[in-house]
Structure 1
Amino acid sequence: MMRILLFLATNLAVLFIASITLSLFGFNGFMAANGIDLDLQQLLVFCGVFGFAGSLFSLFISKWMAKMGTRTEIINQPRTRHEQWLLQTVEQLSREAGIKMPEVGIFPAYEANAFATGWNKNDALVAVSQGLLERFSPDEVRAVLAHEIGHVANGDMVTLALIQGVVNTFVMFFARIIGNFVDKVIFKNEEGQGVAFYIATIVAELVLGILATIIVMWFSRWREFRADAAGARLAGNTAMIHALQRLRAEQDVPVHMPDSLTAFGINSAGKNRLAGLFLSHPPLEERIEALSR
C-alpha cells in the first residue's frame, strides 16, 4: 500500500504544480484566435505531455521515495542469519520468476507489511517490515515475498504509471474544456482567459482527479489478485493462503498504523461500497477465496 500512496502523492503533486505554473505563465497556447473555441488537437498534446510527465517522474523516483518514506534499510551485506535467509529467498524467487535480483530491505514497522517498487522489473526494490519477519513463519514470509516478486515480474509499476498518465491527460484535457465553457459561455468573457477559466479549471481538475483515482484504484485491486496468483505459483498455493489468513488475523490486533497506510486502510476494505472504490487492495476474504478456487 505504501508504494501506491507514494506514487499517487508524488504524481498528483507534480501534475498539480505543472498545471498551475503553466497557467500562471500563460503557456495554455491551445486557445483559438476568437477566444471561444479550443484547438482540441493542440490541447490534447499539451495535456498528454504534462500528464505523462508526472506519472513517469513518479515512476523513476519510486525507489528513492519508498526508501525515504519507510526508512528502509537495504541489506548489502547480511549481518544475521535472518538477513542471509531473506537474501537467498528473494534471489531464488527472482530466478524462478525470470527477473534480475532486486534490492532487498527491511523497514522498521510493527505491522505486517511489505512492498515492491522500481521503474522496471530488473531494477526493483523488495522490502518487508520488521514486524512481519518477527511474527510470520518462514513459509508465510516466503509467500509474501513471492507476492511482491509477482508485482515486479508482472511489471505492475510500469503499467500503473501508464494508466496514471492516461487518466492525467484526460483530467487536464476535460478540465480545460470545462474551464473554457464556464469562462466563455456562462460568464461571457471574450477577452482571453478570465478568472473564471482558472477557477473552473482547478475545481474541475480536483473533481475529475477524484473520479480518475477510482479507475487507478480499480487497477490496483485487480493487480493484487494477479500478484497473489504469482505468489501461489512461486511459493505454493497453501503457503499463500496461510499468509493472507495471517494478515487477516492481524486486522483485529490494536496496533498503531502510520497515516500513510491508514489512508488506504486495509482494515476498512469492504466496510461500505463507496469507501471500497478508493482502496488499493481488495478485502483479504476475497483474495483468500480467489486462491481457494
Structure 2
Amino acid sequence: MMRIVLFLATNIAILLVAGLVLNMLGFDGRMAANGVDFNLSALLVWCAVIGFGGSFFSLFISKWLAKRTTGTVIIDRAQTRSEQWLLDTVAGLAQEAGIKMPEVGIFPSQAANAFATGWNKNDALVAVSQGMLERFSPDEVRAVMAHEIGHVANGDMVTLSLIQGVVNTFVMFFARIFGNYVDKVFFKTEQGMGPAYYVSYIVAELVLGFLASIIVMWFSRLREYRADEAGANLAGTTAMIAALRRLQVESGIPVEMPDSMTAFGINGGLKNGLAGLFLTHPPLEDRIAALQQRGH
C-alpha cells in the first residue's frame, strides 16, 4: 500500500506543480476570459507540453536519479572476479540483443533485485543488488540480467514515458474543464477564475490521477511479461523460470529499493485483489506460468 500511496503522491505532485506553472503564466486566466467557452485546443496543447515535458524530463534524468536513490556503484573497471563476470555477461547479452553495452552497476541491498533504466536503448544502465550476486547461481543472475537487457532492447522506458505523458496531459485537460464548468455553471463566476475553479480542478486531478495510474500500472505489468520472454530468448527458458522461482523463495525478504524505482526492478512484490491494479509487476506465479506455456 505504501508504494501505491507514494506513486500517486508523486504523480499528483507533478500535476499540481504543472498547474501552478500554468497559473503563474496567466494561462488559466486567459482561458476563462470568455467564460465557459474557452479555447479547448490551446488548453490541450498547453497540457500536452507540460504533461509530456515532465514525463520526458524524468526519463532523461532516470540514470542519474537511479544511481543516487539506490546507491548504485558503476563498475568502470572490474576489481573482483564477480565484477568481471558480470561485465562479460552483460556485454554478451547486449551484443546478442543488438544494443550498445549499457553501464553496469551494483547497488548495496541484501534483497534480491535488479533494474534497468535510461533514456534510450543505447545509453542505458543495468544494475543488480549485492544480495542477488551473492545468493543466486550464475545462471540465475544471467537470466535476470537478460530480463533487464530485454527491457532496454524493447524500449520500455521510452514507451512508459510516452504513456505517462498522455496520462498527464488528459488528467490536466479534463480536470481544468471540470473546474471551469463548476465555477461558471454552479457558482456563476463571470470574470476570471473563482475559488470554486481551483478547488474543483485540484479534486478532479486527484481523482483522475488515481484512476489514470491504473493504466500506467497495467502497461508496467505487460512489459514484465515481454521482458521475461526476451530474457528467456537470451538466457534460456529454463534459466529464466529458475530465476523467477528463486525470487519466489526469497519473497519474504524486504525489497530494499526506493519506491520511485520499483517499476524498473525485476521483483515488484506480490499482491492480489484490488491492490493488484496498482502493481508494477504481475505475481511471480503468473510470470512463471506464462514462460511454461511458451515451452523451451
- Please give the secondary structure, in 1, of the residue aligned with 2:51: helix
| Closer/same/farther in 2, CA of residues 147 and 7 from structure 1, 3 Å limit | farther
Tell me by how many angstroms 1:14 deviates: 3.9
| Higher alpha-carbon deviation: 114-123 or 184-193 | 184-193
Aligned to 1:130: 130
Q: Residue in 1 aligned with 2:82?
A: 82
C-alpha contact (below 8 Å) 2:231/2:240 kept by paired residues: yes
Matched residues, percent identical? 68
Q: Which one-letter code corresponds to 1:213 in the other structure?
A: S
CA change 1:71–1:232 in 2 (3 A) is same
Question: How do 1:38-49 and structure 2 match up within 5 A?
Answer: 38-49=38-49
Cα displacement (A) at 1:261: 7.9
Q: CA RMSD in A?
A: 2.3
**8 A Cα contact 1:7 1:59, kept in partner:** no
Describe the shift of the 1:96–1:11 C-alpha distance in structure 2 as closer, same or farther (beyond 3 A).
Answer: farther
Equivalences for 1:245-264 in 2 at 5 Å?
Answer: 245-253=245-253, 255=254, 257=256, 260=259
- Quote the Cα distance in structure 1 between the aligned partners of 2:33 and 2:183: 15
1:72 partner amino acid: T
Once the 2 structures are TM-superposed, how far is the Cα of residue 188 of structure 1 from its aligned partner? 1.2
Q: Who is 2:178 aligned against?
A: 178
Residue 121 (structure 1) aligns with = 121
What is the correspondence of 1:189-228 to structure 2 with a 5 Å cutoff? 189-228=189-228
C-alpha displacement at 1:203, in angstroms? 1.1
AA aligned opposite 1:202: I
Using the size of structure 2 for normalisation, the TM-score is 0.91
Match of 2:117, SS state, is strand
More deviation, 199-208/104-113? 199-208
What are the superposed Cα offsets for residues 151-184 of structure 1, whole Å, 9 maximum, x if unpaired? 0000000000101111111000000000001101
Conservation of the 8 A alpha-carbon contact between 2:29 and 2:192 = no
**Residues 1:75 and 1:263: Cα distance change in structure 2 (over 3 Å):** closer
CA contact (8 A) 2:107 2:128 kept: yes
Partner of 1:112: 112
Give the length in aligned residue pairs: 287
Shift of 1:6: 10
Q: What amino acid maps onto 2:116 in structure 1?
A: A
Specify which structure has the bigger relative contact order, considering alpha-carbon pairs within 8 angstroms and separated by 6 or more residues: 2
Kindly state the Cα deviation for residue 23 of structure 1 after the two structures are TM-superposed.
Answer: 1.7
CA shift in 2, pair 1:278/1:156, >3 Å = same
Q: Do the aligned partners of residues 196 and 38 (structure 1) sit closer, same or farther apart at CA in structure 2, a change above 3 Å counting?
A: same
**1:179-198 per-position Cα deviation (integer Å, ceiling 9, x unaligned):** 00110111111111111111
Residues 10 and 20 of structure 1, relative CA distance in 2, 3 Å threshold: same
